Amino acid sequence: MPHYLVTGASSGIGAALATALLRRGDKVTAIARRQDRLAALDDGSGNFHGSACDVTDDTALATAIQNAADRLGPVDCAILNAGMYVPQDSLKIDPAVYAKHMDVNYMGVVNALPPLITGMAARRSGQIAFVSSVAGWRGLPKAAAYGPTKAALISLAESMTFDLAPRGIDVKVICPGFVRTESTAVNDYEMPGLISAETAAAEILKGLQTDNFMIQFPKHFTRKMGLLRWLPDRTFFKLVGARTGHPQP
């Protein structure tokens, strides 16, 4: 049975992924900071390994990944999902908040890559999926700290594919729309196309089985978001501003 490694597994999409994978009989290593949440995921099957670890600590994360391989065998698929989101007012910028987003959302992915890639390249087999967001496609209100980290993950996945695909490592980038999680619970506006974490997990697991580089969902929402990438800038700012309570002059 394949061995999946999921970061950010204590809640939201990560917890839903770990639960779904265990239910279908796969081996799962779940990495997150909250040990009590990880313990709650253990289904008693012997296929689960929980590791309390902060993804911003590259040394601790490398150790956790090695321990996972020692416990459950080589990692076949890593879903790098750990992330944070704090809405931002661009009139009140705190650089520390922006740095923290980059440290968790972007470097938290990068920190996992050396031990994962070393093993997968040696076996010439493996899959690595970065959880990005449609917020990485164009700048959105309140996402000034969050969105750039997700755009960076898309670029990272694209760039790494050139080196990793010829060595048997499948790289994918996951771009959900709005998902009901602890992070999105802080939003004070209507979130179109909002889906549950369980639905998001099902979409991700389905997408991992395809040849698609980008896994995006829900389709009825991401198609609309995709069109925004092609709008002229002036039209984009006026349209999105009007729909989100940020009217533009």
Question: Active-site residue numbers?
Answer: 146
Cβ distance 129 to 80 under 8 Å?
Answer: yes
- Residues β-bridged to residue 170: 127
Long-range contacts of 110-114 (CB under 8 A, 24+ apart): 110/156, 111/55, 111/56, 111/57, 111/58, 111/61, 111/62, 112/7, 112/55, 112/61, 112/65, 112/78, 112/80, 113/160, 114/62
Q: Under a CB-based contact definition with an 8 Å cutoff, are residues 75 and 69 in contact?
A: yes
Handedness of CA 112, 177, 143, 182 (dihedral sign): negative
Positive or negative: CA dihedral 110, 116, 119, 124: negative
Pairing of strands 77-80, 48-52: unpaired
Residue 198 to residue 180: CA distance in whole angstroms: 9
| Cα 2 from Cα 59, distance rounded (Å) | 25
Beta-bridge mates of residue 232? none
Beta-bridged to residue 4, according to DSSP, are: 28, 77
